[in-house]
Structure 1
């Protein structure tokens, strides 16, 4: 790092972290500040947060309410019942995510948690995971973000939210006992069998989105074989929700990426172990981390450096983060990444010292208006991580409107010039400083600070 200490402090606070009200929080050793945060993410803040088991109880109760709602005598539609049933838990989970990000003293760890929650997306856009997304993040992501990638991969893959989101609960081996039983029952009742065989969604997304990447060297036969390995992994109505049911499992050995795996529950652990250590996974994870923290198109040198550390360490994520923090490419002064709506709003809450107060209402601090419905990414690929995906004219105008409203609300009590100085220091360019200095009044000055390129980017 050849930059002066104040500039490095600003880069650490805004590029690696989530924004700070004062660069004094970082101190003179920006790299040390970041390295000290490597470890499991903070325990999520908030009251009445459900464990996975409690969330599953809610899901099973909803299923019963849906059944009752089909009875016209109840006077309710199934959709109305579902909406009311989950509204409170969804709002509580969302507020917890935002308050934790806005108040944590380990923002680098929190940014990594948000990165991995997006990497292993489960989304409310699919009704089958209503009530489970918050518990998934708290139990399958937060504890594992700085350990072995294999452990994170296993926790995310086998969590009930992922099994439901990517339809593994509907997958059965074509030659399994469950399919044979369903076929016999259908013949007896003279109806079509409801259970017919494999669902490949989870297998495909693990290979394409979670480990090897789309060009990682797998083929369609690998997807099918891996889907067979995953059969039997289901969501239970009791205990912690995940169980292996041999009756649904495809019998016999399976071959994935040229390696033969035995029948049974242990095969999934073995496949995930091999995927976690695969060179394509090392490069895929390295590329995503470099793209998230440094640039939309990171240099091959940086990707190679991170991938090599991943391979040398056996997929230890903490070691990869250390390599990232120590890489000179990560400390270039010019900010290259555009903040997502969530990052923008959270950083505003942190820089302006608003903390959890900004998220007391149920509008997620305005993030939905800015174009990002949290916990509801549009696909298993999660939210995009390239600037161009957040830079449409309408999206930019919404940021202007949001910044103007915040300026009008807070600009008479917040000195934007002082905030700019203590929160950004040398990171704020002369052009932005002049605009803020020449503002007509406090509200305009704050709006200009929020829309400054140095605030919008990281």
Structure 2
């Protein structure tokens, strides 16, 4: 007998749109309504010891100053850098715990999934040391409040955040004809110490065009990249002063007008707002964002018709993200019964915690947060540490190597050994997966030798590994 349609849609809402649930009763009798009600800013992050952007910037300044003074006191000693790293550790750990705990315990998992999606789209990573202490503040202040507003607003918040400016090297980008370059040249002649000035850096300009807006084939040229880099000069984090000071420093800005994508912009900070507005409204951006969202939510190779409708909705609404989500929820392609997306390690670990109904009981310290952070790291996705500005991969082939699969099995086995005797995996499978649970998987779990093995089989089942 086929499962009731409402139970099918509840399973899809919980696992594909959300982050997994222990009970399909959570989406209720109206799963689409449950999702629509979650559209809005992401919930405030849970956790203690979390810094605002202003506090994080000041923390970075303090740590940088302490490291500089330590090097002067003991030049050439390696422990100096080790001590500097320790200064950031508490902030980094608090940020990682917060991200995972918030996802594990949220009652708005669709909103949290969208926050994950955009944080990955606008990647800022600890893989680059210049972002230490800033990544968590970036997600909390630049991403969470803006996931359901306009894309232009989200683009502005992410591009001008101190973490992004440092991650993509705009901190050291100076216009060739700027005052900063002139001063640096004079100091060099006089052999005086001054700020390191390396000239125009195109990293942020290139990644905003290629990864954040138009896409690699979005219709821009190298000349556009260079012009955009000139527009971005001066947008940097001040070396001194309050952490919430405006990030624009005119001394580093390239003077004169700049032409980008056929439009000419005057010098000064206002040009960046105009450029980002143009990029947000560009047809290539609409298609690029539509494709990425459909790939994340529906399939590695998303249905072209769905991408077309999402892109059209984006353009009609002027890039209003809430409208994009409504189009996605209304699309038949998003509700296919066969799970097509493989969970990333982070998704696997967090959905396991939610499956086991542990998220709501989590505290800021103790074994469960360690289980979250350690699990994601062991499985190859260390929190806030994407390998490149392109973020973590969103296709199954990137996560299905033999070693990666074996690590999932080992982690599931450890969880089973720890919790399998306290839970009835057979009942949990039915309650959580509902009509997604195949007869073959049900029999495997039923015939398990004991509770730990049954739970490990549930966690490694195709129905749970995919969403």
The answer, yes or no, to whether TM exceeds 0.5 is: yes
Q: Where does 1:39-50 land on structure 2 (aligned, <5 Å)?
A: 39-50=40-51
1:155-177 per-residue CA deviation (whole Å, 9 max, x = no partner) reads: 00000000000010100110111
- Counterpart in 2 of 1:32? 33
1:323-351 per-residue CA deviation (whole Å, 9 max, x = no partner) reads: 00110000001101000000000000001
- Counterpart in 2 of 1:217? 219
Q: Where does 1:8-407 land on structure 2 (aligned, <5 Å)?
A: 8-71=9-72, 73=74, 77-189=79-191, 194-236=196-238, 237=240, 238-355=242-359, 356=362, 359-361=368-370, 364-407=373-416
Q: Distance in 2 between matches of 1:360 and 1:69?
A: 34
1:81 is displaced (CA, Å) by 1.3
Q: Distance in 1 between matches of 2:195 and 2:386?
A: 33
For the 8 Å contact 1:203–1:227, the answer to whether it is kept is: yes
Q: Distance in 1 between matches of 2:279 and 2:144?
A: 21
Partner secondary structure for residue 233 of structure 1: coil
1:200 is displaced (CA, Å) by 0.3
Q: Distance in 2 between matches of 1:57 and 1:280?
A: 38
Relative distance call for 1:362 and 1:354 in structure 2 (3 A) is closer
Does residue 1:411 correspond to 2:413, yes or no? no
Q: Distance in 2 between matches of 1:454 and 1:70?
A: 54
1:80 is displaced (CA, Å) by 1.1
Aligned length: 457
Q: Which moved more, 1:254-263 or 1:356-365?
A: 356-365
Detail structure 1 runs of 4+ shifted over 2 Å in the superposition: 71-78, 187-196, 356-363
For the 8 Å contact 2:215–2:288, the answer to whether it is kept is: yes
1:246 is displaced (CA, Å) by 1.2
Relative distance call for 1:242 and 1:385 in structure 2 (3 A) is farther
Partner secondary structure for residue 234 of structure 1: coil
Q: Distance in 1 between matches of 2:351 and 2:101?
A: 12
TM-score (norm 2): 0.95
For the 8 Å contact 1:18–1:347, the answer to whether it is kept is: yes
1:188 is displaced (CA, Å) by 2.8
Paired residue for 1:446, among 440, 455, 459?
455
Partner secondary structure for residue 378 of structure 2: coil
Q: Distance in 1 between matches of 2:288 and 2:304?
A: 12
For the 8 Å contact 2:187–2:194, the answer to whether it is kept is: no
Q: Distance in 2 between matches of 1:398 and 1:382?
A: 21
For the 8 Å contact 1:232–1:246, the answer to whether it is kept is: yes
For the 8 Å contact 1:98–1:359, the answer to whether it is kept is: no
For the 8 Å contact 2:258–2:265, the answer to whether it is kept is: yes
For the 8 Å contact 2:100–2:372, the answer to whether it is kept is: no
Q: Distance in 1 between matches of 2:109 and 2:96?
A: 18
For the 8 Å contact 1:146–1:317, the answer to whether it is kept is: yes
Q: Distance in 2 between matches of 1:163 and 1:359?
A: 34
Please list every run of 5 or more consecutive structure 2 residues that lacks an aligned counterpart in the other structure: none
Q: Distance in 2 between matches of 1:365 and 1:196?
A: 39
Partner secondary structure for residue 259 of structure 2: strand
Q: Distance in 2 between matches of 1:205 and 1:341?
A: 25
1:289-339 per-residue CA deviation (whole Å, 9 max, x = no partner) reads: 000000000011010010000000000000000000110000001101000
Partner secondary structure for residue 23 of structure 1: coil
Q: Distance in 1 between matches of 2:415 and 2:262?
A: 57
Relative distance call for 1:58 and 1:49 in structure 2 (3 A) is same
Please list every run of 5 or more consecutive structure 1 residues that lacks an aligned counterpart in the other structure: none
TM-score (norm 1): 0.97
Relative distance call for 1:3 and 1:290 in structure 2 (3 A) is farther
Q: Distance in 2 between matches of 1:362 and 1:350?
A: 13
